[in-house]
Amino acid sequence: MTATDPHPSPHGPEPAEYSEEPRLTTSPAPDPLAAADALVARLRARRTEPAASPQLEALALAVTANQPVLLWGEPGIGKSAGLEQLAAGLGLPLETVIASVHEPSDFAGLPIVGDDPAATGVPMAPPDWAVRLRDAGHGLLFFDELSSAPPAVQAALLRVVLERRVGSLVLPDAVRIVAAANPPSSAADGWHLSPPLANRFVHLHWTHDPATVARGMAGTWPEATVPVVDPAKVPGAVARARGAVSGFLTARPGLVHQLPGDAETRGRSWPSPRTWEMALRLLATAYATGAGREATAAALTGAVGDGAGIELLSYLEHLDLPDPERVLADPAAFALPDRGDRQLAFLIAIVSAVQSDLTRSRWEAAWAVLAKAVDAGVPDVAARAATDLAAMRRLDWPVPAGIDAFLDLLRLSGALPCGR
Name the residue with higher pLDDT: 13 or 220.
220
The residue with greater pLDDT, 13 or 315, is: 315
340 and 216 inside one domain: no
Length of the chain: 420
Query: For the residues 81-87, what does the mean pLDDT come to?
Result: 83
Is residue 391 assigned to a domain? yes
Residue 156 belongs to domain with CATH number: 3.40.50.300
Domain boundary among 222, 241, 270: 222
**408 — pLDDT class (breaks 50, 70, 90):** low
* Domain count of the fold of the chain: 2
List the alpha helices (DSSP H) in 337-402.
340-356, 360-375, 383-392
Which segment of 58-62, 317-321, 375-379 scores lowest on mean pLDDT? 375-379
Q: Is residue 107 part of a domain?
A: yes
Query: pLDDT grade, residue 301 (50/70/90)?
Result: very high
- For the chain, what is the mean pLDDT? 84
pLDDT computed for residue 1 by the predictor: 46
| 330 and 214 share one domain | no
pLDDT reported for residue 189: 59
Residue 59 shares a structural domain with residue 181: yes
Give CA 21 to chain center in angstroms. Answer: 73
Q: Give the 3-state secondary structure of residue 143.
A: strand
Q: What is the pLDDT of residue 176?
A: 95
Torsion angle, CA of 99/103/104/106, rounded to 10 degrees?
-80
Query: Between β-strands 220-222 and 47-49, what pairing exists: parallel, antiparallel or unpaired?
Result: parallel
Which of the four pLDDT bands, split at 50, 70 and 90, describes residue 231?
Answer: very high
Residue 394 is part of which domain span? 324-413
- Give me the pLDDT at residue 4, please: 52
- Looking at the domain assignment, is residue 260 inside a domain? no
d(CA 396, CA 419): 16
**Could you tell me if residue 316 is inside a domain?**
no
* pLDDT greater than 90 at residue 177: yes
Same structural domain, 73 and 209: yes
| pLDDT for the residue numbered 409 | 60
With respect to residue 388, please indicate whether it lies within any of the assigned structural domains. Answer: yes
> What would the mean pLDDT of 168-176 be, rounded to a whole number?
92
Checking if the pLDDT of 182 tops 90, the result is: no
CA pair distance 180, 290, nearest whole angstrom = 26
The pLDDT of 110-115, averaged and rounded, is: 69
Report how far residue 84's alpha carbon sits from residue 258's, in angstroms, rounded to the nearest whole number. Answer: 34
364 and 215 within one domain: no
Higher-confidence position of 375 and 152: 152
- Whether 418 shows a pLDDT value over 50: the answer reads no
pLDDT value, residue 187? 54
Estimate the crossing angle of helix 293-304 against helix 306-317, to 10 degrees. Answer: 140
The answer as to whether 127 is a domain residue is yes
Domain identity same for 217 and 330:
no
Query: Do 58 and 185 reside in the same domain of the chain?
Result: yes
How crowded is the C-beta side of 355, counted as CA atoms within 13 Å?
A: 18
pLDDT: is 400 or 140 the higher one? 140
Q: Has residue 236 been placed in a domain?
A: no
Higher pLDDT, 129 or 117: 129
Choosing from 168, 197, 222, the residue where a domain stops is: 222
Q: What are the pLDDT digits (tens) for 25-78?
A: 666 767 889 999 999 999 888 888 877 788 889 999 999 999 999 999 888 887
Last residue within a domain, chosen from 202, 222, 242: 222
Q: Which of 78-87, 227-236, 410-419 is least confident?
A: 410-419
3-state secondary structure at position 328? helix
Pair 52, 181 in one domain: yes
Same domain, 196 and 68: yes
- Is residue 167 a part of any domain in this protein? yes
pLDDT of residue 117: 64
**Beta-carbon count within 10 A of 306 CB:** 14
Q: What is the pLDDT of residues 322-352, one digit of tens each?
A: 888 989 999 888 888 878 788 888 899 999 9
